[in-house]
């Protein structure tokens, strides 16, 4: 089965990946004496609390969690009416979404709810099992303490086959949002109607490109007003427009004043020579815009560094998916960085 999974990985683009280790509890390992505190089923009205603390939360998880609470066993500890620790069962029957509020940790509550829920599962004639994502350093110790036994690997991943309609829509919507922030008289400067633009996307889960070693280069996110002014200078000079540079700078700074924009500066030997902009389209989605390098410094290697380092910054901010629209002459650079074409406009 693992070999089959590897063949699928190599053949398709991965949209996401969650490598896990599988643990199960033999019936004879259940030790109810480990429970020290009273537990009860999660109340449906607390589904929003579970969703709020869920690290993989998205627009649809609340309804899924409500279904889990309604249709399957769960366990929680309540202190003065407040739910402080909980665990429930996913629709694949694995135990999960465990959480203990920070103020109530190191009191053994996680052991209590784990044993309680495992007991409920065994009482129903089933085998308790959990899947712990790689990198979670605390959960394996808790699982073994409660009597779970490691069983092997369980990899979860999603593949992209062809070009789903959603990818095209995401790209088009991102472009519309970006243009909406600019005055109409700059729209033609951004997307010349006489040119064809390639719409690209990249799932940053797959982004592993390392920028080449180039002495003196560094990328920094814009934080101060002085840095914002530098970003405006570089972008307005590099950004071809019929509007004069000083007016362009004013327009662009106004356009990106919204909190959904992240601005970056590329420095060479302490001098700002490049700039980039990302637009938050959804919680984990970004549009990449206004890539700029001063004319005296421009070359394709520097552009590649600017793009890749911007992506690395956004990836650390839990960015999952990125889109952009480019001219044909830049296609090779973006392809080397893992971008794929969705359509052309």
Q: What is the pLDDT of residues 225-243, one digit of tens each?
A: 999 999 999 988 876 666 6
- The pTM assigned to this predicted structure is 0.67
Strand partners, 218: 267
pLDDT tens profile 270-294:
999 999 999 999 878 999 999 999 9
Residues 6 or more apart in contact with residue 138 via CB below 8 angstroms: none
Mean pLDDT of 93-113: 95
Between CA 206 and CA 47 the distance in angstroms is 32
Q: Residue 207 has what pLDDT? A: 80
Residue 18: CB atoms within 10 Å: 14
Residues 6 or more apart in contact with residue 134 via CB below 8 angstroms: 19, 20, 21
Mean pLDDT of 240-262: 79
What is residue 284's three-state secondary structure?
Answer: coil
Please report the beta strands in the chain, taking only residues with DSSP state E, as ranges in sequence order.
13-24, 74-79, 82-89, 95-100, 129-133, 149-160, 197-203, 217-221, 261-268, 271-280, 285-293, 321-327, 340-344
Q: Residue 335 has what pLDDT? A: 92
Asked whether the predicted pLDDT for residue 1 surpasses 60, the reply is no
> Which is higher by pLDDT, 154 or 266?
266
pLDDT tens profile 55-65:
888 778 999 99
**Of 105-109, 121-125, 248-252, 300-304, the least confident:** 248-252
Q: Residue 184 has what pLDDT? A: 83
Task: Kindly give the pairing relationship between strand 321-327 and strand 285-293.
Answer: parallel
> Which is higher by pLDDT, 13 or 251?
251
Between CA 286 and CA 177 the distance in angstroms is 11
């Amino acid at each position: 089965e693992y070999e089959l999974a590897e063949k699928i990985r190599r053949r398709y683009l991965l949209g996401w990946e969650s490598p896990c280790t599988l643990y199960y509890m033999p019936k004879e390992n259940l030790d109810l004496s480990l429970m020290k505190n009273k537990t009860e089923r999660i109340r449906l009205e607390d589904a929003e609390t579970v969703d709020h603390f869920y690290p993989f939360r998205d627009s649809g998880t609340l309804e899924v969690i409500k279904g889990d609470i309604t249709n399957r066993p769960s366990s929680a500890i309540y202190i003065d009416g407040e739910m402080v620790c909980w665990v429930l069962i996913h629709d694949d029957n694995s135990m999960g979404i465990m959480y203990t509020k920070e103020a109530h940790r190191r009191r053994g509550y996680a052991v209590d709810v784990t044993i309680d829920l495992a007991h409920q599962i065994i009482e129903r004639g089933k085998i308790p099992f959990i899947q712990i994502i790689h990198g979670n350093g605390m959960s394996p110790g808790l699982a073994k303490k409660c009597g779970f036994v490691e069983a092997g690997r369980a990899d979860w991943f999603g593949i992209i086959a062809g070009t789903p309609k959603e990818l095209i829509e995401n790209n088009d919507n991102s472009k519309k949002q970006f243009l909406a922030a600019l005055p109409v008289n700059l729209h033609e400067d951004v997307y010349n109607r006489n040119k064809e633009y390639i719409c690209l996307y990249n799932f940053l889960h797959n982004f592993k490109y390392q920028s080449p070693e180039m002495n003196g280069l560094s990328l920094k996110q814009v934080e101060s007003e002085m840095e914002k002014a530098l970003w405006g200078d570089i972008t307005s000079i590099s950004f071809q427009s019929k509007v004069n540079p000083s007016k362009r700078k004013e327009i662009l700074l106004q356009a990106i004043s919204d909190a959904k924009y992240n601005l970056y500066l590329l420095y060479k030997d302490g001098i700002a020579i490049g700039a980039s902009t990302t637009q938050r389209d959804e919680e984990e989605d970004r549009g990449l815009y206004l890539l700029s390098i001063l004319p005296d410094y421009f070359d394709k290697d520097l552009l590649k560094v600017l793009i890749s380092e911007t992506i690395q910054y956004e990836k650390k901010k839990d960015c999952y998916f990125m889109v952009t629209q480019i001219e044909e002459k830049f296609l090779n650079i973006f392809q080397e960085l893992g971008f794929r074409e969705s359509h052309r406009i």
